Chain A
Amino acid sequence: MKVKDFLNTLDETILEKIDKLSKELRERRSFSKYNDFEDIVYGLSMESIKFYIKPVIKQIPSYFTLGSKI
């Protein structure tokens, strides 16, 4: 499934899958501490996300939220 198709067909069933994934990961992770998003995805630091996202949000009135699909 293409990324765009996936985003267009998102529904509430994903929430259940996220819960399941979260539980599985907690059990199998060899490391115990969860670090913050910025520390891990350094290429997507919050500063860069804010920089890029803000102008886009202004251009798209119904900016993507799962809430609108669920």
Chain B
Amino acid sequence: MNYYAIGYHGTTQEGADTILNSGIDFSRRDGDVFLGRGFYVWRDSYKRAKIWNSAQKVIESQIKCPQDEMLNFTSIKWNKELDIIKLYLKYFKPKEIYFGEFIDFLIDELGVDIKLITIMDLRNQATKIHIQDPLDSGKRTIFSYGDIQLCIKHKDIISEPREVDDES
């Protein structure tokens, strides 16, 4: 089974030119403390990428990754992801190793096949909307949305990037 997504990356004019002319550098942000080195994108959210660091340009790409080669922290059907977190909390955090460093250690030193990480952006509270039933004032539906961030760690799972001007 594959995981599919469309990702948006906000960057400077110079950053966009580099990506489009030379390709994505997956070794960037070595030692990143969040999810480790990789190419970071927002799933389905052109606007979120656009406001990231007041980005001048937005790069769009398609992602396709086998589910057993990724860590998906966006689902409550966690399985291996829970074990990874337990492993980190029990053995790596006490040694003052950041989560991103831990992930890259698994890949580089232990040969674990992790090509993609997905995670909910919980820095901003998920937005809740209450929709009132037009026929029954006592009934309400709660709708919520939030953003998902992806850390792409391998070139094989991402399509040719292209610059986009808007969501269309």
Binding site for B on A (CB under 8 A): 1-4, 6-7, 10, 14-15, 17-19, 21-22, 25-26, 28-29, 34-35, 37, 40-45, 48-49, 52-53, 56, 63-66
Name the B residues within 8 Å of A17 (CB-CB). 105, 109-110
Selected contact of A49 from candidates B31, B85, B119, CB within 8 Å: B85
What is the interface of chain A mostly: helix, strand, loop, or mixed?
A: helix
Name the B residues within 8 Å of A49 (CB-CB). 85
Contact B110 A19 (CB under 8 A): no
The 8 A CB mask of B56-79 against A (1 = contact, 0 = none) is 000000000000110101001010
Contact B99 A64 (CB under 8 A): no
Chain B: residues with Cβ within 8 Å of the partner, total of: 43
Contact A3 B68 (CB under 8 A): yes
A43 and B114 CA atoms in complex are apart in Å by: 18
Name the B residues within 8 Å of A56 (CB-CB). 78, 82
Contact A3 B91 (CB under 8 A): no
Contact B122 A48 (CB under 8 A): yes
Contact A43 B112 (CB under 8 A): no
Distance of B157 from chain A, by nearest CB (Å): 15
Tell me if B129 is interfacial: C-beta within 8 Å of chain A: no
A29 and B81 CA atoms in complex are apart in Å by: 27
Distance of A62 from chain B, by nearest CB (Å): 12
Task: Give the residue among B76, B106, B112 with the most A Cβ atoms within 10 A.
Answer: B112
Contact B112 A3 (CB under 8 A): yes
Who on chain A is nearest to B92 by CB? A18
The 8 A CB mask of B84-108 against A (1 = contact, 0 = none) is 1111011111011111110001100
Beyond A21-B105, A40-B34, A43-B120, is A4–B91 a contact (Cβ under 8 Å)? no
Tell me if B111 is interfacial: C-beta within 8 Å of chain A: yes
Tell me if B136 is interfacial: C-beta within 8 Å of chain A: no
A3 and B84 CA atoms in complex are apart in Å by: 9
Beyond A1-B113, A53-B82, is A37–B120 a contact (Cβ under 8 Å)? no
Contact A44 B113 (CB under 8 A): no
Contact B78 A52 (CB under 8 A): yes
Who on chain B is nearest to A4 by CB? B80
Contact B83 A7 (CB under 8 A): yes
